[in-house]
């Protein structure tokens, strides 16, 4: 069979219409289908492979034995030979075949990195931390993470002088490149999960490629580059990396069954609950389940439903442990999904695309894939950056499927039809082509590179780059768009791991005497919402939070909440519970706040407080968010001053129903309408003062028309 995933089972359709749960979920019918055909490249064949482990039990074999059963194991020598001979190499191999955990260890055991280190980039921190922990464990000899194997993620560096293999997020390697653009600490850089095409990875491609060339031309220690993935467009990558060699590692660890629904289901939340209980009723207790949904709210809602329904005496199945996984959680909370469950308990993990690539969660037998993801898309023409739920790509679907079949056979239920799958885009559109580039343009300038002339694998639209430079100019980060050299303010802005608009706000805060307040607000905006809003408790929530509400809007309301939270001390858990505040998120905000405060102190900023002078805070917010202002027109509609888009105030805002003349907003969310979220009222006369050039050109005209 030449399918990517071999199929097992009897091929019967599964009918899960006979659930005994309330409310009764829509019955879902599934069809089973083959996976895609394997990519054809130079193959390292399996002739010397060990027998399949398809019916094996990983708990009976040691960690070292497990390593020898992985598909990459038999190709070790051939792989090392290829790595030795080629300075750039693409490695394509099935999910779970052992690329990420084994190849760095092979390189290290053959000392191919000489005196340098091996860096392996990951798109997300969960992957970097969990893989480094696993690889340290595989090293044995009492080694722990931070010895030979370590990791670096934002706000956490677990490495030492002894570290030879370093897993790090692509964002962290990019930050390291700002201090040394030749990345001399490393002699081997592995760009893993290259198919993800995050902005950071795309920028890294160019940086690493350039570092390799410059090091060669200057006769410095050579740099080896390895690009890895299970699902990438090899020809496209090879062309970009000077037609480098690609190798395909054949073989996967265990097969995964793939099922599609018979008909489309718009309500994927209910469909995921229904599918979970179908599995729950039939599968042994230690068969765990991983569900992919799109965001925190949705995940918590489904988690709640599963918790409640699984306790219903009418529902058959073992006890359930429900775990959630999304970006806004503190790292320690995220890592709990890796804790093994007792044999008599079913673990279900409900996750965003965080768990989509790289990670291995042992015990996962079933995947339920909603087929949806929440993604940010920027439209230079409208100036709006929208957060939207959309269909995943086929590559993402295969990555999600690949989270099963890693320690035993698995099954993946796709909550969409085969033809819906075929209509999905093959690959994810690179983030660089759909994002606001202000941050990237600034980061590149810090490296002395102009984004227009950067060697991108896929060039972003030119108008997006031009808009980014115009915004940097308006923010005061560059002198002028043509020469694009960083001002001293721009140099300061680079120091913050934030969107330049928020760095600007922090850097302006001392002038307004409100850095203490603004640090809190920016931190709260950097994490997921701290506000819980259970739909059946709306009035109660409204009443208890009334004391925090500010007529100036959501930013000041959030500030009021945080101020009281900081004073409750030991009782913070019960205080959060009483006020419907998400404790995890507010604690995360506190952590971010202390990191940002440290950077501000290092930058010599005065930690001043404006007490109750909230005008100062709102004026300060305007110094970074002046492009995000909307004005109320005579027909009671809000229109953005920037690109004159019709927008509405989100019902969750404290300003909903109040109609102030000018509002400053943090973001736009597209659902049935374009909604502004997280707002503050501002005064017309402050606009000119905050950004004279900007308001001279376009927006005042709009204001006068109304």
Ligand X SMILES: Nc1ncnc2c1ncn2[C@@H]1O[C@H](COP(=O)(O)OP(=O)(O)OP(=O)(O)O)[C@@H](O)[C@H]1O
Binding site for ligand X (CB under 6 A): 70, 93, 95-102, 130, 134, 230, 253, 357-358, 360, 362, 402, 406-407
Beta bridge partners of 3: 37
d(CA 396, CA 427): 8
Beta-carbon contacts of 326 under 8 Å, excluding residues fewer than 6 positions away, are 295, 296, 299, 351, 352, 354, 528
Tokens of 359: 């990670």
CB of 31 to ligand X, least distance (A): 25
d(CA 448, CA 454): 10
CB of 231 to ligand X, least distance (A): 8
Beta-carbon contacts of 282 under 8 Å, excluding residues fewer than 6 positions away, are none
Report the residue number, 407 or 597, with the smaller CB distance to ligand X.
Answer: 407
Report the residue number, 104 or 500, with the smaller CB distance to ligand X.
Answer: 104
Give the helix ranges, DSSP H, for 52-160.
Answer: 63-69, 76-85, 99-109, 125-139
For residue 376, give Cα distances in angstroms to 119, 355, 423, 522.
28, 18, 21, 19
Report the residue number, 109 or 671, with the smaller CB distance to ligand X.
Answer: 109
Report the residue number, 90 or 435, with the smaller CB distance to ligand X.
Answer: 90
Among 342, 328, 268, 332, CA closest to 302: 268
CB of 142 to ligand X, least distance (A): 18
Report the residue number, 134 or 619, with the smaller CB distance to ligand X.
Answer: 134
CB of 358 to ligand X, least distance (A): 4
CB of 102 to ligand X, least distance (A): 6
Report the residue number, 352 or 357, with the smaller CB distance to ligand X.
Answer: 357
Among 197, 220, 101, CA closest to 151: 101
**What would you report as the CA-atom Rg of the chain, rounded to the nearest whole angstrom?**
26
Report the residue number, 59 or 155, with the smaller CB distance to ligand X.
Answer: 59
Beta-carbon contacts of 303 under 8 Å, excluding residues fewer than 6 positions away, are 322, 324, 350
Give the helix ranges, DSSP H, for 283-384.
Answer: 296-310, 331-335
Report the residue number, 104 or 624, with the smaller CB distance to ligand X.
Answer: 104
Report the residue number, 66 or 420, with the smaller CB distance to ligand X.
Answer: 66
Instruction: Tell how strand 224-229 and strand 186-191 pair up.
Output: parallel
CB of 332 to ligand X, least distance (A): 17
CB of 422 to ligand X, least distance (A): 23
Q: Name the phi and psi angles at 422, rounded to 5.
A: -65, -25
d(CA 16, CA 19): 7
CB of 75 to ligand X, least distance (A): 12
CB of 187 to ligand X, least distance (A): 21
For residue 124, give Cα distances in angstroms to 44, 91, 202, 367, 494.
29, 20, 15, 20, 21
């Amino acid at each position: 069979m030449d399918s990517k995933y071999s199929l097992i089972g009897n091929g019967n359709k599964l009918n899960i219409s006979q659930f005994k749960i309330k409310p009764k979920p829509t019955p879902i019918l599934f069809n089973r289908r083959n996976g895609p055909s394997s990519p054809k490249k130079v193959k390292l064949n399996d002739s010397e492979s060990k027998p399949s482990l398809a019916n094996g039990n990983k708990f009976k074999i040691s960690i070292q034995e497990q390593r020898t059963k992985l598909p990459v194991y038999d190709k070790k020598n051939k792989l090392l030979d290829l790595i030795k001979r080629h300075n750039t190499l693409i490695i394509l191999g099935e999910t779970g075949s052992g690329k990420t955990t084994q190849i760095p260890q092979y390189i290290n055991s053959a000392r191919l990195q000489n005196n340098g280190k091996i860096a392996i980039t990951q798109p997300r921190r969960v992957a970097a931390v969990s893989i480094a922990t696993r690889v340290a464990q595989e090293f044995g000899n009492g080694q722990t993470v931070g010895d030979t194997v370590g990791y670096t993620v934002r706000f956490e560096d677990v490495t030492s002088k002894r570290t030879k293999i370093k897993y790090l997020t692509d964002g962290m390697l990019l930050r390291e490149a700002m201090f040394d653009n030749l990345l001399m600490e490393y002699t081997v850089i592995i760009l893993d999960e290259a198919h993800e095409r995050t902005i950071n990875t795309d920028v890294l491609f160019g940086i690493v490629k350039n570092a390799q060339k410059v090091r060669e031309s200057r006769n410095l220690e050579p740099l080896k580059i390895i690009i890895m993935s299970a699902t990438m467009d090899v020809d496209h990558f090879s062309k970009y990396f000077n037609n480098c060699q690609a190798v395909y590692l054949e073989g996967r660890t265990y097969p995964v069954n793939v099922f599609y629904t018979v008909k489309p289901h718009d309500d994927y939340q209910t469909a995921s609950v229904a599918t979970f209980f179908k599995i729950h009723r039939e599968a042994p207790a230690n068969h765990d389940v991983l569900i992919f949904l799109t965001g925190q709210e949705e995940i918590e809602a489904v988690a709640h439903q599963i918790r409640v329904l699984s306790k219903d005496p009418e529902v058959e199945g073992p006890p359930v442990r429900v775990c959630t996984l999304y970006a806004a959680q503190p790292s320690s909370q995220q890592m709990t999904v890796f804790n093994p469950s007792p044999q008599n308990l079913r673990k279900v993990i409900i996750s965003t695309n965080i768990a989509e690539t790289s990670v291995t969660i042992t015990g996962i037998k079933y995947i339920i894939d909603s087929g949806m993801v929440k993604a940010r898309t920027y439209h230079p023409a409208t100036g709006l950056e929208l957060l939207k739920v959309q269909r995943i790509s086929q590559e993402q679907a295969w990555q999600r499927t690949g989270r099963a079949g890693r320690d035993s056979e698995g099954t993946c239920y796709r909550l969409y039809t085969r033809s819906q799958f075929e209509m999905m885009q093959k690959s994810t559109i690179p983030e660089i082509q759909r994002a606001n580039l202000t941050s990237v343009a600034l980061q590149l300038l810090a490296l002395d590179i102009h984004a227009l002339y950067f060697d991108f694998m896929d060039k972003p639209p030119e108008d997006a780059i031009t808009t980014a430079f115009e915004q940097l100019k308006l923010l005061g980060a560059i002198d002028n768009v043509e020469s694009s050299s960083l001002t001293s303010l721009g140099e300061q802005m680079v120091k913050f791991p934030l969107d330049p608009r928020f760095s600007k706000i922090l850097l302006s805060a001392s002038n307004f005497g409100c850095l203490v307040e603004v640090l809190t607000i920016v931190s709260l905006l950097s994490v997921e919402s701290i506000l819980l809003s259970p739909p059946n408790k709306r009035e109660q929530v409204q009443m208890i939070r009334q004391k925090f509400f500010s007529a100036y809007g959501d930013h000041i309301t959030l500030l009021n909440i945080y101020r009281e939270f900081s004073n409750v001390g030991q009782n913070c858990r019960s205080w959060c519970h009483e006020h419907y505040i998400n404790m995890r998120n507010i604690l995360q905000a506190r952590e971010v706040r202390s990191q940002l405060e440290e950077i501000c102190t290092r930058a010599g900023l005065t930690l001043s407080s404006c007490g109750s002078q909230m005008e100062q805070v709102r004026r300060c917010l305007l110094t970074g968010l002046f492009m995000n202002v909307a004005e109320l027109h005579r027909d009671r509609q809000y229109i953005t001053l920037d690109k004159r888009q019709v927008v509405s105030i989100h019902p969750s805002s404290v300003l909903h129903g109040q109609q102030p003349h000018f509002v400053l907003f943090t973001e736009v969310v597209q659902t049935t309408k374009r909604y502004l979220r997280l707002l503050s009222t501002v005064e017309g006369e402050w606009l000119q003062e905050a950004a004279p050039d900007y308001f001279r050109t376009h927006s005042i005209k709009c204001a006068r028309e109304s």
